[in-house]
């Protein structure tokens, strides 16, 4: 698995900072890189090299021959090109999301009584789905590109919701929005909920469990042929915040997502339909979340749009001292803007209008305008 830490000098013939996981003969390759004038070391099971990509591949060839160098060259070229090239649009059944030209804003629509920030705000059993649809329309008017509909809370400690209850909550909302040509993602970890929602008009499946909650979900997504958001979470919502530990949170989350992409491709889910999400707040401490945000750009090495969701999360409250989740606006906006400036293609947010304005500025200031986007536009 190849992860690019920095390839900014590669276009001018300079070195890149590259991490390679599970590389056979890693120590021997590191020595060969150093002999060729680069810098390399092995940390845990990862080779960390600062060298021209060709030097790294040549070093692998000298130690392991073509059987080692050939596959490594393919992976290095793909990762470097992805890191340098920026995101591409994401095709969905309801139209393309313009990830390649500007940041995409996903509005959060929780139709639950118990979500951490807005539980019950847009879900009233007595007149459902009126409140939810009205809020979705407000978010669209404020600039949301799509609406993420969820019927089961994934807050820390949350209890699972029966499938029939989750369907009762989400299907009327999905049907109504899809009928208005809204791009809808369904936030679920259940195969049948995903299937029924896509049949009702949802265009994306957003799964916090990466297919680990329901063994049928991934095969269902493959059959449906819609984009899939694969997210990292350690444990379950009920257990994920019980002392999460990592040696290198970015490396471990990256390797998990890379593994999942390969698994999904083997199941028949095309790579071009995948979105990756490092799972801010899902089995991570404050320090883990901050490190993931600082290093968002590394996840672009996977060659897929990166989704970041920090909106109103508890680590922002810990940092800012704001206990009430709905009042964490400033932290939510700052982290969304930083994520975009560091390579995120999609941000998942509660406060749409403010975030849309902020990420436009962040994209313009990043100094790395995307194809078709003029600096300062």
What amino acid positions are annotated as catalytic residues?
313, 348
- Crossing angle for the helix pair 286-294 and 329-341, to the nearest 10 degrees: 40
What letter does residue 321 receive in the DSSP assignment? -
Tokens found for residue 287: 């320090």
Torsion of CA 331, 333, 334, 335, to 10 degrees: 80
User: Given the structure tokens 């393919």, which residue do they identify?
Assistant: 74
Residues 232/253, Cβ–Cβ less than 8 Å: yes
Strands lying side by side in the sheet with 46-51: 2-6, 16-21, 46-51, 39-43
User: Given the structure tokens 């709905």, which residue do they identify?
Assistant: 326
Handedness of CA 71, 77, 83, 89 (dihedral sign): negative
Tokens found for residue 56: 């790294």
With residues binned 3-state (H G I as helix, E B as strand, rest as coil), the percentages for the chain, rounded to 5, are: 45, 15, 40
Parallel/antiparallel/unpaired status of strands 46-51 and 39-43? antiparallel
């Amino acid at each position: 698995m190849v992860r690019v830490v920095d390839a900014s000098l590669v276009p001018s013939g300079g070195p890149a900072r590259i991490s390679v996981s599970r590389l056979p003969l890693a120590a021997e390759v590191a020595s060969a890189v150093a002999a060729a004038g680069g810098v390399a070391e092995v940390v845990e099971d990862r080779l960390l090299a600062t060298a021209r990509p060709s030097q790294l591949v040549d070093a692998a060839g000298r130690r392991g021959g073509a059987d080692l160098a050939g596959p490594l060259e393919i992976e290095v070229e793909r990762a470097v090109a992805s890191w340098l090239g920026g995101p591409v649009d994401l095709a969905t059944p309801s139209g393309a999301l313009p990830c390649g030209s500007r940041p995409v804003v996903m509005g959060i629509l929780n139709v639950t009584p118990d979500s951490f920030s807005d539980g019950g705000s847009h879900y009233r059993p007595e007149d459902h789905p009126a409140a939810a649809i009205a809020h979705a329309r407000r978010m669209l008017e404020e600039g949301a590109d799509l609406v993420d509909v969820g019927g089961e809370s994934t807050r820390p400690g949350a209890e699972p919701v029966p499938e029939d209850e989750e369907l009762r909550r989400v299907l009327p909302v999905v049907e109504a929005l899809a009928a208005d040509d809204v791009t809808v993602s369904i936030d679920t970890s259940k195969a049948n909920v995903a299937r029924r929602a896509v049949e009702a008009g949802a265009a994306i499946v957003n799964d916090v469990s990466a297919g680990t909650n329901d063994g049928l979900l991934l095969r269902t997504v493959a059959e449906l042929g819609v984009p899939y958001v694969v997210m990292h979470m350690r444990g379950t919502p009920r257990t994920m915040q019980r002392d999460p530990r990592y040696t290198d949170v970015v490396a471990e989350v990256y390797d998990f997502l890379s593994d999942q992409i390969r698994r999904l491709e083997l199941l028949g889910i095309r790579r071009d339909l995948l979105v990756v999400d490092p799972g801010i707040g899902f089995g991570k401490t404050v320090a883990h979340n901050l490190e993931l945000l600082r290093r968002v750009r590394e996840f672009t090495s996977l060659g897929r749009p990166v989704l970041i969701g920090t909106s109103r999360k508890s680590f922002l409250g810990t940092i800012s001292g704001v206990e009430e989740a709905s009042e964490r606006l400033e932290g939510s906006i700052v982290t969304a803007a930083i994520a975009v400036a560091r390579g995120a293609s999609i941000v998942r947010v509660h406060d749409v209008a403010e975030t849309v304005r902020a990420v436009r500025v962040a994209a313009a200031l990043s100094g790395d305008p995307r194809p078709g986007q003029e600096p300062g536009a």
